[in-house]
Chain A
Amino acid sequence: DSGVTQTPKHLITATGQRVTLRCSPRSGDLSVYWYQQSLDQGLQFLIQYYNGEERAKGNILERFSAQQFPDLHSELNLSSLELGDSALYFCASSVGQSETYEQYFGPGTRLTVT
C-alpha cells in the first residue's frame, strides 16, 4: 500500500459525459501528479500540482482539467468524453516538486467510455 488513494476504482460512462476522478496523496506529500495509461500510448504524464498550484503540464487535453485543494487532495475532471479516453488514470504524490524525489502511485481509476 503506497498510501495514495484514488476513487472510484472503476467508472463506466457514455461519450459526451463528464467525470471527476479523486486522489488523496500520502500524508505529508505536497505534490500530486496525474497520468494516463492506455494500451497504445503507454504511461503519459498529464499534469502536476504542488501545494495547490499548477506546476507543470504534460500531454493533457484541453477537455481535461485538474485542481489541488487546500487539504492537498486533487481532482481530475474529464469532459466531453470520447471512446479514446478509456484508460487507466493514476495519480502519484511526492514530498517535493522536483525530480529529486520519488513518486508514490495510487491504485488507479479505470475509466471506460461507451
Chain B
Amino acid sequence: DAKTTQPNSMESNEEEPVHLPCNHSTISGTDYIHWYRQLPSQGPEYVIHGLTSNVNNRMASLAIAEDRKSSTLILHRATLRDAAVYYCILHNSGGSNYKLTFGKGTLLTVNP
C-alpha cells in the first residue's frame, strides 16, 4: 500500500524559504500528489497538487522528482500564518484500487 513519509517537524524563520520534503517511494504511475495544511483548530486547507510536472500557484510551488518517488513543497517566503501541519497525500481514484492516503504530516514552526 503506497505511503508517504514526512519529517515530524521543521522550523523556519519568517520571510525565508521553506522546503518541506515528502517521500513516496511506492507511488504508482497515476497517483496524484496533493499537499494540504491544517492550522490549529481548523479543517485542512488545500495547498497544491500535481502528477509529474512541477506546479506553481499563489500559495506555493511543488517540485516532483523525475522518478516521482519524492516531492518537495516550497513556501517561497514563510510568514507566521504559514505555521501549520503540512500533509503530503497520494490520491488515485482510477481502477479497482482506490487510494486516498494521508501521511502523518510535518509540523512547521515559523520563528519571527
Contact = CB atoms under 8 A, between A and B. Distances in A.
B49 interface: yes
Interface stretch (A13-21, A65-73, A76-84, A100-108): A100-108
B104 A99 contact: no
A52 B45 CA distance: 24
Number of contact residues on A: which range applies? Answer: 20 to 34
A103 B46 CA distance: 6
Main secondary structure of the interface of B (DSSP, over half): strand
Interface in A38-94: 42-45, 48, 55-58, 90, 92
A24 interface: no
Interface residues of B, number: 21
Contact of B46 (A43, A100, A104): A104
Contacts of B94: 98
A2 B44 CA distance: 10
A102 B49 contact: yes
